[in-house]
A and B are shown apart, each in its own frame.
Chain A
Amino acid sequence: MKTGARILLECLRLEGVRHVFGYPGGAALPLYDALYDEKQIEHILVRHEQGAAHMADGYARATGGVGVCLATSGPGATNLVTGLATAYMDSIPVVAITGQVRTHAIGKDAFQEADITGITIPITKHNFLVKRVEEIPETISKAFHIARSGRPGPVLVDVPLDVSLAKMAWDPSMYPDKADIPTYKPTTRGHEVQIRRAAAALDEAQCPVLYVGGGAVLSGAEAEVRELAERTNTLVTTSLMGKGIIDEHHPLSIGMLGMHGTAYANHAVHNCDLLFAIGARFDDRVTGKVDRFAPRARVVHIDVDPAEIGKVRVPEVPIVGDIKTVLAAMLPHVKPKPWSAWNDQIMEWKSEFPLVYPSDGRLYAEYVIEMMGQATNWEAIMTTDVGQHQMWAAQYYKCRRPHQWITSGGLGTMGFGLPAAIGAQVSSPGTRVLCLSGDGSFQMCTQELMTATVYGLPIIVAIVNNRSLGMVRQWQELFYQERYSHVDLQASPDFVKLTEAYGGFGLRAETPEEFRNALSKALEVRDRPVVIDCVVPTEENVYPMIPAGQSVDEMRIRENLEELKVTVDTEGEEWSFDREERVLEQFVALRKGGSSAERGS
């Protein structure tokens, strides 16, 4: 006979779970008791349950697998809410397990009772309240299946105390091979006729653009997307969530589109005659005013969620299915095409409206990002918080592969960056993990620095310290007549001392040179988190910008663009030490050292 709690852990093992991020409490005591002698699953003790949810989320995004978090009933469970909503908006597979009061006490305002299944209906793909110990294996199997299949998303499993204490005879051979949910059968294979029509549309188009989103990343379709782009010589723009689906150094990549996308990507989309949308959901940050978005284009739209197709824009060629499966079926029908005059036109836009920033001796966020990229050969995982720094990172951090870019797009959750970096580093001890944060965002989950220290995680956080809630300040400047209402963050802790108080390594940089030195010191650290407080000008804005609800015609660009184009040669910036070698050394050392997380516990 085994307790429900033990059975639950065995089920997690069977789902391949190796790490759980959590925080204990009364209703979760049996689960924590079972964890006490659990050998195969490592539990990471966080400092706030929101951190646990974001870590599970970051873990999932870095690996393409499912992240797991654990909390007690009541306040523990409600602290997960922001994290679950974040994962839900970006379709990230997370399984959250919460303790609940005893079944007979449910609905009676028992101590630490919260109706967490009720609360999370709108922010989970599905949730379960387990009523009897016999239901545990089937529920866990369904939860993982629902979380990772179709359009992925978070699933919550609420386990009352008496259910995790109850015993039954069980062994792993009794675990369901496959979750069978008759009412849930996502369509993965696209319609053959539509697939051929899509291939034909691409062949016929004079001015096509691929608009690739998070769905392609979730589907693991990078090879298919690249093949499609290369064979037809079609330029690729991605949403914020699609970054890395094609190497952003690739000549066919034109960066992100949308509100803060590159001018050339937005001009390309505005003027294209075929918009080929792959796992992207026409978010309002992308389309602006919908009827002025890609006004001349026919639209091909591939998405696994039928509700996304036609939600914003009715496509000429709708395809419901999994990106990888659909593109694999499409490629045999796709004919090669040469580099086109249309592509030349886009390249002209690119040289007319490049991404540039001042080099006047002061430190700029854009520089910080470029240096972090160069120093790590653009191979590090980059997590971000939310605000201006996030948009600069989207513009300047050129990802080489999917799962390398981890950001909260749909919900835009400040405080996501640090815990997401921790989750990513736990999942991938041999990979360098960077986090770009803001002085506002960093203060939303600072406590997780302690977690990073305890588990010896060498993540490098650069705080873009503009002493302001920059993104809000920018909107107040541009759209609220410079009435700067409550965006001043002059009063902040000393981030260097704060980091040291948490046992990390704190550094400060006020000039480009100081930053380079700080970064090279940071890259030496292997056993604890590093925070670099980067002091940047307050008044910098993110450009280009298409104001909300408007179109590319209203796009604002840097006023002194022409000047900057002449004075700045961003590509030519020399990295101060022999970076390739140094970075390689780092990676090898990290791999040899094994999982620092394991050593830390």
Chain B
Amino acid sequence: MAASLTRRAPQTHVITALVGNHPGVLARVAGLFARRGYNIESLTVSVTEDPDVSRMTIVVAGDQLVLEQITKQLHKLIEVIRVADYVDAPTVERELGLIKVRAEPKDRGEIMQIVEVFRGRIIDMSDRTFVIEVTGSVEKLDKMAELLSSYGIREMVRTGVIAMARGSRTA
């Protein structure tokens, strides 16, 4: 659910919520954001090391007070186990993108160079297009998309950020 294709809003925060792996949890969380008027930049849901627990990584826009309300309100949902924001902690954040770009024969060399520099991979190819896979920070994906846009991006999909604290701290 990458709401904005390229740029993050000025003040964004990454929140991780560990939630019970029940049907309907996503509806409760998404409903909370909609109802209270919080802006979600992206939201990913995935399995974790524990099959009963899912992990949501949510990127939200808003100031410190908004962030505090969001974490507290999230925590009130009965099925939310833990909420962590990473305001004061160093984290690693990654996003995966797939970009289908127009690749005319004359441009192919240049495009492959860009892919090389960003450590992406070309994973599919037709006579007019490449599909490029790239992982990294949001900024890196933004930058790459920007460079490729001059050739013509036909389609792009991004997973939204997933994040983890550095060191031994866990969510």
Would you give the shortest CB distance from B142 to chain A, in whole angstroms?
A: 33
Verify A307–B24 contact, CB threshold 8 A.
no
Nearest A-chain residue to B78, judged by Cβ = A126
Q: How far is the CB of B83 from chain A (nearest CB, A)?
A: 11
Instruction: Tell me whether A307 and B20 are in contact (CB under 8 A).
Output: no
Q: State whether A183 touches B20 (Cβ < 8 A).
A: yes
Provide the bound-state CA to CA distance between A146 and B78, in Å.
Answer: 9
**Interface locus among A116-124, A327-335, A586-594:** A116-124
Contacting pair A306 B79 (CB below 8 A):
no
Q: Is the CB of A306 within 8 A of B75?
A: yes
Complex CA–CA separation, A126 to B77 (angstroms) = 8
**A184 in contact (CB, < 8 A):** yes
Is A306 a contact of B72 with CB atoms below 8 Å? Answer: yes
Partner of B69, one of A129, A184, A311: A311
Evaluate whether A121 and B78 lie within 8 angstroms (CB atoms) in the complex, with A310-B65, A310-B68 already known. Answer: no
Q: Which residue of A lies closest to B24 (CB)?
A: A117
| Beta-carbon contact of A307 and B78 below 8 Å | no
* Interface residue? A491 (CB, 8 A): no
The answer to whether B31 has its CB under 8 Å from any CB of chain A is: yes
Closest 9 CB pairs of A and B: A307-B72, A126-B78, A183-B81, A184-B78, A306-B72, A307-B73, A121-B31, A122-B35, A121-B28
Interface residues of A in 89-123 (CB under 8 A from B): 117-118, 121-122
Output the nearest chain A residue to B82 by Cβ-Cβ distance: A183
B89 vs chain A, min Cβ distance (A): 20
- Cα-based distance from A343 to B53 in the complex (angstroms): 55
Q: Which residues of B contact A129 (CB under 8 A)?
A: 24
Is residue A572 contacting chain B, with contact meaning CB distance below 8 A? no
Check A118–B78 contact: CB distance below 8 A. Answer: no
B27 CB within 8 Å of chain A: yes
Complex alpha-carbon distance, A514 and B132, angstroms: 86
Q: How large is the interface on B (under 10, 10 to 19, 20 to 34, 35 or more residues)?
A: 10 to 19
Any chain B CB within 8 A of the CB of A533?
Answer: no
Q: A121-B27, A307-B73 are in contact. Are A182 and B81 (CB under 8 A)?
A: yes
Report Cα–Cα, A126/B25, bound state, in Å. Answer: 11
Name B65's closest neighbour in chain A (CB-CB). A310
A 430-468 to B, binary, CB cutoff 8 A, 1 in contact else 0 = 000000000000000000000000000000000000000
Taking CB atoms, residues of chain A closer than 8 Å to B81 are 182-183
**Interface pair A307/B69, CB less than 8 Å apart:** yes
Which one of B27, B35, B76, B80 contacts A305 once the chains associate, using CB atoms below 8 Å? B76
Q: Does A174 contact B (CB under 8 A)?
A: no
User: A182: nearest residue on chain B (CB-CB)?
Assistant: B81
Q: Bound complex: CA of A332 vs CA of B75, how far in Å? A: 32
Whether A181 is near chain B, meaning CB under 8 Å from some CB there, is: yes
Report chain A residues within 8 Å CB of B69. Answer: 307, 311
Q: B74 — nearest CB in chain A belongs to which residue?
A: A307
Digitize B57-76: 1 where CB-to-A-CB distance is under 8 Å, 0 elsewhere: 00000000100110011011
A219 nearest CB across to chain B (Å): 18
Which residues of chain B come closer than 8 Å to A118, judged between CB atoms?
Answer: 27
* Residues 9-43 of B contacting A (Cβ, < 8 Å): 20, 24, 27-28, 31, 35
Please name the residue on chain B nearest to A310 by beta carbon.
B68
Bound complex: CA A229 to CA B19 (Å): 43
- Docked Cα-Cα span, A108 to B63, in Å, equals 43
Cβ contacts under 8 Å, A125 to chain B = 78
Complexed CA–CA distance, A218 and B54 (Å): 34
> Which residues of B are found within 8 Å of A310, using beta-carbon distances?
65, 68
In the bound assembly, the distance between CA atoms of A234 and B91 in angstroms comes to 49
Q: How far is the CA of A306 from the CA of B20 in the complex (A)?
A: 21
Task: Name the B residues within 8 Å of A117 (CB-CB).
Answer: 24
Contacts of B76 in A (CB 8 A): 305, 307
Quick check: B31 and A122 within 8 Å, CB to CB? yes
Chain B: minimal CB distance from A578 (Å): 53
A selection of 21 A-B contacts at a CB cut-off of 8 Å is: A121-B27, A121-B28, A121-B31, A125-B78, A126-B78, A181-B78, A182-B81, A183-B20, A183-B78, A183-B79, A183-B80, A184-B78, A305-B76, A306-B72, A306-B75, A307-B69, A307-B72, A307-B73, A307-B76, A310-B65, A311-B69
Give every chain A residue within 8 A of B27 (Cβ-Cβ): 118, 121
The A286-332 residues at the B interface (CB cut-off 8 A) are: 305-307, 310-311
- Shortest Cβ gap from B67 to chain A (Å): 12
Minimal Cβ-Cβ distance residue in A for B70: A307
C-alpha spacing A268/B91, complex, angstroms: 48
Give complex CA distance A49, B17 in Å: 37
* Residue on A nearest B20 in the bound complex, by CB: A183
Q: What residues of A have a CB within 8 angstroms of the CB of B78 in the complex?
A: 125-126, 146, 181, 183-184
Given A129-B24, A183-B80, 4 other A-B contacts at CB below 8 A?
A118-B27, A184-B78, A307-B72, A311-B69
Shortest CB-to-CB span from A270 to chain B, Å, is 24
Across the interface, name the chain A residue whose C-beta is closest to B68.
A310
Cα(A310)–Cα(B79), bound, Å: 24
Chain B: CB-nearest residue to A183: B81
**Whole-angstrom distance from the CB of B171 to the nearest CB of chain A?**
14
Shortest CB distance B164–A (Å): 21
List of A residues within 8 angstroms of B73 by Cβ: 307
> Which of A122, A183, A310 counts the most chain B CB atoms within 10 A?
A183
For A181, the closest partner residue in chain B by CB is: B78
When C-beta atoms are compared, the residue in chain A nearest to B34 turns out to be A122
Tell me how far the C-beta of B82 lies from the nearest C-beta in chain A, rounded to whole angstroms. Answer: 8
B124 CB, nearest partner CB in chain A, Å: 37
Q: Which residue of B has the minimal Cβ distance to A308?
A: B72
- CA A146 – CA B75 in complex, angstroms? 14
Which residue of the partner chain A has the closest CB to B36?
A: A122
Q: How far is the CA of A146 from the CA of B69 in the complex (A)?
A: 21
Contacts of B28 in A (CB 8 A): 121
CB proximity of A62 to chain B, nearest CB, Å = 27
Q: Mark A472-514, 1 if CB is under 8 A from B, else 0.
A: 0000000000000000000000000000000000000000000
Closest CB-CB distance, A294 to chain B, in whole Å? 19
Q: Complex formed: what's the CA distance from A117 to B25 in Å?
A: 12
Task: Give chain A nearest CB distance to B15 CB in angstroms.
Answer: 15
Within 8 A of B (CB), among A176-232: 181-184
The residue of chain B having its C-beta at the shortest distance from the C-beta of A314 within the complex is: B65
Q: How far apart are B31's CB and chain A's nearest CB, in angstroms?
A: 5
Considering only CB atoms, which chain B residue lies closest to A150 in the complex? B76
